[in-house]
Structure 1
């Protein structure tokens, strides 16, 4: 059973970075810099941490790599040491049902509140099997659904799946990250018309459309009534860098939502610039091949990481990607939080 304070925080909306993996020169876990990243996110004002997700590198879930428990444990310990911070701890859970249940139990043992459930291992399975899988995991840990973009997952999840998924009583949220407007609306409409809109916290994972997702007041109709809906916060790889700025942006957006104030055109301009930055960082031109090293490259520029290494040797910066990111930083320095990191990095790395 999830604590009411965690649920309240989740539903109110917060910044949740998708936590990267810090590796040393020998491709081993760099515990010092891994801790520094966690400290950075919490000092920046993030309301939660998502660990063991795509940005943390799915390879840590492989038994032969053996990093799933150590990485989750390190983040939980570091978060527990942070003064005045009680972040929502979200554990990425993947694999077929046996593995997913094992990971869910590990997450519970380490004090994680929610499991972010990836279904990629069940690609091609019927909806009944996907729902049974989700039900089994949700009986171990409260779950957040995850619509991962099909470029990476190879899956398109129809609205029927989401209608049935939100009926599971221990579903507490959904990360909507298909990078696709129609598929995003499939999830939103399913939740809005389910009668559980107040129970299921919606988080954008659409790194290409962050501000618009957060600003849009949705209104759905089922023929009898109107069903309003709002995406509460973001669980994003893009927010794994320049996190202090992300917190400031979400605070501004929440003020607009709470006061029903006007959306200034400057905010939409900023939204477009952030998407332009995401295009370079996530390597959109090359089918997102350099997504994870792109995030690491930004953090390396800031001194928090020493390399862009990945456990999967095929995950490297694409040709010209570093130069494109450098150009974005030069042209749009207001998107970065370089000064904040520069002032605190030594403390986080201590």
Structure 2
């Protein structure tokens, strides 16, 4: 691991699933299944894991649960056992003192970078947000995070991203505003900054394939989104790894564009877009439950569950797009992962 150039790997482009949280019926950490999830992703061929992020549930930081460090440690142990090096990304949240402390914890556990959420800085000025990002980047390399407002993010203008790209220890940006205009703001800011070493990653679970197929040209410079750090990729992950390779530097064909719509339709069911994403985490849990990797859909917030009609939508996309699931792969290896 000491010789692993994680920056080069990020710039090449990899599949990074956002790691969910496995709970028991009593809403306690299910260590066995938490490890099984990490083993599944590693066996599926991912290039890294993102742990302690939105899909892991931000509430793991609540002292009454106290799960942030234990979940990071379990993932670290499984990544230590992986046959090859993985990019290790941990979520970072909160106001500056909390964010810096979380960055220090991640550094101590051997994580390479922190995915920095600005959701706690809803009323901060642009200057305050940049100062916050600089403080975290002094501790640990940072992956920027444009989180859509409907699930806790805020609108971040071009001017913010242009200044953000000037912070030396930024290694990548995950663009997840679910908005083409705002995604373009980030890409243009990075291109115009001249920073070729900041890797562009899609977090737009509603537009995965099209993001990979689109060349972004600003003036004489062109960049592409090279990888994905996605909640959607916490399920059907073996197929997701294949999808990234299929789309890498590819031209947009009608077949690939059609595939992109199929992936987006599946995401609509998993993420519960019809109900403002209320069931987005529970929907992913349901897919993993069907595959036998999770025991149930439980979230730390007992009010967080599937929306009315969401189960039927998941049934529908399962039937419509059987080529997108990796149920056979999971069934073949599940008992080994759950040992």
Whether TM-score is above 0.5 comes out as yes
Q: How does 1:108-119 map to 2 (within 5 A)?
A: 108-119=107-118
Deviates more, 1:147-156 or 1:296-305: 147-156
Deviation at 1:64, TM superposition (A): 2.6
Cα distance per residue 1:6-56 (max 9 Å; x no partner): 111110001000000000111000000000000000100000000000000
Q: Aligned with 2:5: secondary structure?
A: helix
- Closer/same/farther in 2, CA of residues 347 and 321 from structure 1, 3 Å limit: same
Q: Aligned with 1:92: secondary structure?
A: strand
Aligned to 1:42: 42
Aligned to 1:245: 239
Cα distance per residue 1:243-284 (max 9 Å; x no partner): 000011111112xx1xxx543311111110110000010000
Aligned counterparts of 1:3 and 1:95: Cα–Cα separation in 2: 32
- Closer/same/farther in 2, CA of residues 31 and 203 from structure 1, 3 Å limit: same
The answer on whether the counterparts of 2:118 and 2:153 sit within 8 Å (CA) in structure 1 is: no
1:141 lines up with 2:174 in the alignment:
no
- Closer/same/farther in 2, CA of residues 4 and 199 from structure 1, 3 Å limit: farther
The answer on whether the counterparts of 2:91 and 2:114 sit within 8 Å (CA) in structure 1 is: yes
1:301 lines up with 2:290 in the alignment:
yes
Aligned to 2:211: 213
1:313 lines up with 2:302 in the alignment:
yes
Aligned counterparts of 2:101 and 2:136: Cα–Cα separation in 1: 9
Deviation at 1:4, TM superposition (A): 6.1
Aligned counterparts of 2:153 and 2:3: Cα–Cα separation in 1: 34
1:187 lines up with 2:186 in the alignment:
yes
Aligned counterparts of 2:177 and 2:252: Cα–Cα separation in 1: 25
Out of 179, 197, 200, the residue aligned to residue 198 of structure 2 is 200
Aligned counterparts of 1:51 and 1:284: Cα–Cα separation in 2: 23
* TM-score between the two structures when normalised by the length of structure 1: 0.95
Q: How many residues align?
A: 338
Aligned to 2:9: 9
Q: How does 1:54-73 map to 2 (within 5 A)?
A: 54-73=54-73
The answer on whether the counterparts of 2:213 and 2:251 sit within 8 Å (CA) in structure 1 is: no
Q: Aligned with 2:182: secondary structure?
A: helix
Q: Aligned with 2:193: secondary structure?
A: coil
Q: How does 1:274-293 map to 2 (within 5 A)?
A: 274-293=263-282
* TM-score between the two structures when normalised by the length of structure 2: 0.98
Aligned counterparts of 1:65 and 1:102: Cα–Cα separation in 2: 18
For structure 1, the 5+ residue unaligned runs are: none
Deviation at 1:152, TM superposition (A): 1.4
Deviation at 1:65, TM superposition (A): 1.7
* RMSD (Å), alpha carbons: 1.1
Q: How does 1:144-155 map to 2 (within 5 A)?
A: 144-155=143-154
Aligned counterparts of 1:154 and 1:253: Cα–Cα separation in 2: 28
1:234 lines up with 2:228 in the alignment:
yes
Aligned counterparts of 2:54 and 2:213: Cα–Cα separation in 1: 25
Cα distance per residue 1:97-154 (max 9 Å; x no partner): 1111111111111110000000111111100000000000001100000000011125
Deviation at 1:330, TM superposition (A): 1.2
Deviation at 1:5, TM superposition (A): 1.4
Aligned to 2:97: 98
Aligned counterparts of 2:3 and 2:165: Cα–Cα separation in 1: 19
Deviation at 1:3, TM superposition (A): 6.5
Q: Aligned with 1:119: secondary structure?
A: coil
Runs of 4+ in 1 over 4 A off after TM superposition: none
Aligned to 1:344: 333
Deviation at 1:241, TM superposition (A): 0.2
Aligned counterparts of 1:187 and 1:64: Cα–Cα separation in 2: 36
